[in-house]
Chain A
Amino acid sequence: MRATIPSVPGSRAWHGSAAGRLEWTRWPARAGFWRARRPWLAATVVLVATACFSALVQGPQWRESAALATANLAFSLLFVFTGLMVGKEPDQRVTAWALMLAGVFRSVDFIDAWNGLWPAYATVFGGVDRVFGAWALLRYPNSSLSVLHRRYLIALTGWMLAGRTLIAVTSTARWNGYPPSSWWPALVPDEQLSDTLNYVVHAGEALGGIGLIALLVIRLTRTRGLDRIVITPITVAGIAAVIATITSAAIMAFSLSGTPNDAYLIESLVDLGIPLAFLVAALQRLLLIRNVTELTAQVAAGGDISAVRHALRSVLHDPTLDLLDTSDSSLRALNGRAPGRMVSYIRAGQGAPIAVVVADPVLARYRELFDAATAASGLALQNAQLQAKAAQEKLEQVKASRARILEAELAERRRLERDLHDGVQQHLLSITAGLTAAMATTADPAATAALSEAREGLRAVLAELRDLAHGIHPAVLSQSGLGAALEGIAERLPLPVSVTGPPRRLDAAVEATLYFVACEALANVVKHASADSALVAVRAGESVLEMEIADDGIGGVPADGGHGLANHGLANIADRVSALDGEVVIDSPPGRGTRLVVRIPCA
Chain B
Amino acid sequence: MRVAIAEDSGLFRSSLALLLRSLGAEVTASVASGAELLTSIGGSPPDAVILDIRMPPSFSDEGIRTAQEIRALHPDVGILVLSTYAETSYATQLLETVRSGVGYLLKDNVTDVAALMDSLARVAAGETVVDPAIVRRLLERNRKPSVLDALNERELAVLRHMAEGRSNLGIARELFLSARTVETHVTSVFTKLGLSPSDTENNRVRAVLAFLRSAGS
Would you give the 0/1 interface string for A419-438, flagging 1 where the beta carbon is closer than 8 Å to chain B? 00110011101111111110
Which residues of B sit under 8 angstroms from A427, Cβ to Cβ? 9, 11-12
User: Judging by beta carbons under 8 Å apart, are B111 and A435 in contact?
Assistant: yes
Which residues of B sit under 8 angstroms from A440, Cβ to Cβ? 19, 22-23, 113
Would you give the 0/1 interface string for A424-460, flagging 1 where the beta carbon is closer than 8 Å to chain B? 0111011111111100110000000000000100010
User: Judging by beta carbons under 8 Å apart, are A496 and B15 in contact?
Assistant: no
User: Judging by beta carbons under 8 Å apart, are A425 and B84 in contact?
Assistant: yes
Nearest CB on A from B23, distance (A): 6
* Residues in A480-536 with C-beta less than 8 Å from chain B: 480, 484, 487-488, 490-499, 533
> Pick the contact of A459 from B61, B108, B143 — CB < 8 Å?
B108
Nearest neighbor of B112 in chain A, beta-carbon distance? A436
The 7 sampled A-B contact pairs (Cβ below 8 Å) are A425-B84, A429-B15, A429-B84, A430-B14, A432-B15, A496-B141, A496-B142
Nearest neighbor of A456 in chain B, beta-carbon distance? B111
State in angstroms the CA–CA spacing of A466 and B138 once bound together.
Answer: 18
Number of interface residues of A (CB under 8 A): 44
* Residues in B114-149 with C-beta less than 8 Å from chain A: 137-138, 141-144
State in angstroms the CA–CA spacing of A437 and B13 once bound together.
Answer: 13
Interface residues of chain A, those whose CB is within 8 Å of chain B, are 418, 421-422, 425-427, 429-437, 440-441, 455, 459, 462-463, 466, 469-470, 474-476, 478-480, 484, 487-488, 490-499, 533
State in angstroms the CA–CA spacing of A422 and B14 once bound together.
Answer: 15
User: Judging by beta carbons under 8 Å apart, are A433 and B19 in contact?
Assistant: yes
Nearest CB on B from A13, distance (A): 67
Supposing A430-B11, A484-B89 touch, asked if A437 and B84 sit within 8 A by C-beta, the answer is no
Nearest neighbor of B82 in chain A, beta-carbon distance? A429
Supposing A427-B11, A480-B93, A496-B144 touch, asked if A433 and B217 sit within 8 A by C-beta, the answer is no
Supposing A425-B84, A479-B60, A487-B216 touch, asked if A436 and B90 sit within 8 A by C-beta, the answer is no
Which residues of A sit under 8 angstroms from B54, Cβ to Cβ? 421, 475
Which residues of B sit under 8 angstroms from A433, Cβ to Cβ? 12, 15-16, 18-19, 110-111
Would you give the 0/1 interface string for B27-46, flagging 1 where the beta carbon is closer than 8 Å to chain A? 00000000000000000000
Which residues of B sit under 8 angstroms from A455, Cβ to Cβ? 111
State in angstroms the CA–CA spacing of A349 and B142 once bound together.
Answer: 72
Nearest neighbor of A460 in chain B, beta-carbon distance? B108
Nearest CB on B from A39, distance (A): 90
User: Judging by beta carbons under 8 Å apart, are B11 and A418 in contact?
Assistant: no
Supposing A429-B12, A429-B107 touch, asked if A487 and B217 sit within 8 A by C-beta, the answer is yes
User: Judging by beta carbons under 8 Å apart, are B85 and A437 in contact?
Assistant: no
User: Judging by beta carbons under 8 Å apart, are A441 and B22 in contact?
Assistant: yes
Which residues of B sit under 8 angstroms from A498, Cβ to Cβ? 144, 217
User: Besides A466-B84, A494-B142, 18 other CB < 8 A contacts?
Assistant: A421-B54, A421-B84, A426-B9, A429-B108, A430-B13, A432-B111, A433-B15, A434-B15, A436-B113, A437-B22, A455-B111, A459-B111, A462-B107, A476-B89, A476-B90, A480-B89, A488-B88, A498-B217
Nearest neighbor of A432 in chain B, beta-carbon distance? B111
User: Judging by beta carbons under 8 Å apart, are A496 and B86 in contact?
Assistant: no
> Pick the contact of B144 from A421, A426, A430, A533 — CB < 8 Å?
A533
> Pick the contact of B9 from A422, A441, A459, A463 — CB < 8 Å?
A422
Which residues of B sit under 8 angstroms from A469, Cβ to Cβ? 84
Which residues of B sit under 8 angstroms from A494, Cβ to Cβ? 141-142
Tier of interface size on chain B? 35 or more
Which residues of A sit under 8 angstroms from B60, Cβ to Cβ? 478-479
State in angstroms the CA–CA spacing of A474 and B14 once bound together.
Answer: 27
5 interchain residue pairs of minimum CB distance: A496-B144, A433-B15, A426-B9, A484-B89, A430-B15
Most chain A CB within a 10 A radius of its CB, from B21, B93, B108? B108
B87 within 8 A of A: yes
Nearest CB on A from B120, distance (A): 14
Nearest CB on B from A420, distance (A): 9
Which residues of B sit under 8 angstroms from A429, Cβ to Cβ? 9, 12, 15, 84, 107-108, 110
Which residues of B sit under 8 angstroms from A422, Cβ to Cβ? 8-9, 59
Which residues of A sit under 8 angstroms from B138, Cβ to Cβ? 491
Which residues of A sit under 8 angstroms from B8, Cβ to Cβ? 422
Supposing A436-B113, A437-B22 touch, asked if A476 and B85 sit within 8 A by C-beta, the answer is yes
Which residues of A sit under 8 angstroms from B23, Cβ to Cβ? 440
Which residues of A sit under 8 angstroms from B215, Cβ to Cβ? 491
* Residues in B168-193 with C-beta less than 8 Å from chain A: none
User: Judging by beta carbons under 8 Å apart, are A499 and B9 in contact?
Assistant: no
State in angstroms the CA–CA spacing of A488 and B88 once bound together.
Answer: 7
Nearest neighbor of B24 in chain A, beta-carbon distance? A440
Nearest CB on B from A539, distance (A): 17
State in angstroms the CA–CA spacing of A368 and B188 once bound together.
Answer: 98
User: Judging by beta carbons under 8 Å apart, are B11 and A475 in contact?
Assistant: no
Supposing A426-B9, A430-B12, A466-B86 touch, asked if A436 and B19 sit within 8 A by C-beta, the answer is yes
Which residues of B sit under 8 angstroms from A430, Cβ to Cβ? 9, 11-16
State in angstroms the CA–CA spacing of A475 and B89 once bound together.
Answer: 11
